[in-house]
């Protein structure tokens, strides 16, 4: 998987980091990302139906609102982690109407996963 990795540690490390499955022993934060992050770090969004820059709505990337749904659902556990402090500060700066819109969008998308 990695050019400098030792084979026997690849799977546990990768699984632990990608799924936060070890409770933060290997990875100090969950690897959750918004559509905007995926767009910046890859070319996966080039031909996608959804718009990574759009936060809510029918064409908004589902990762955007679902990222916040995940982060807020786990805020008690992740809120004191220095590596997740900045995203939470950014969320707290948003207006309550914008926060509500994002969470409603996530709820709708989660209820209609089979239609995404």
pTM score, whole prediction = 0.79
Domain limits, CATH 1.10.10.1710, in the chain: 32-115
Domain 32-115 has CATH 3.20.20.70: no
Model pLDDT for residues 10-33, shown as the tens digit of each residue: 666 666 666 666 666 666 677 789
Instruction: Phi first, then psi: give them for residue 44, nearest 5 degrees.
Output: -65, -25
Sign of CA dihedral 88, 110, 50, 47: positive
Determine phi and psi for 88, rounding to 5 degrees: -65, -40
Residue 61 has pLDDT above 90, yes or no: yes
Distances (CA, A) of 4 to 9, 10, 19, 65: 11, 10, 22, 35
CA distance 37 to 110: 20
Q: How far apart are CA 19 and CA 7, in angstroms?
A: 19
């Amino acid at each position: 998987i990695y050019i400098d990795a030792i084979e026997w540690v690849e799977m546990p490390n990768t699984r632990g980091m990608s799924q936060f499955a070890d409770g933060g022993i290997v990875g100090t934060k969950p690897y959750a990302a918004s559509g905007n992050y995926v767009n910046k770090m890859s070319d996966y969004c080039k031909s996608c139906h959804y718009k990574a820059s759009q936060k809510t709505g029918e064409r908004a990337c589902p990762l955007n609102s679902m990222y916040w749904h995940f982060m807020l659902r786990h805020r008690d556990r992740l809120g004191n982690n220095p590596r997740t402090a900045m995203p939470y500060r950014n969320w707290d700066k948003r207006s309550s109407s914008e926060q509500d819109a994002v969470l409603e969008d996530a709820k709708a998308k989660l209820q209609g996963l089979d239609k995404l």
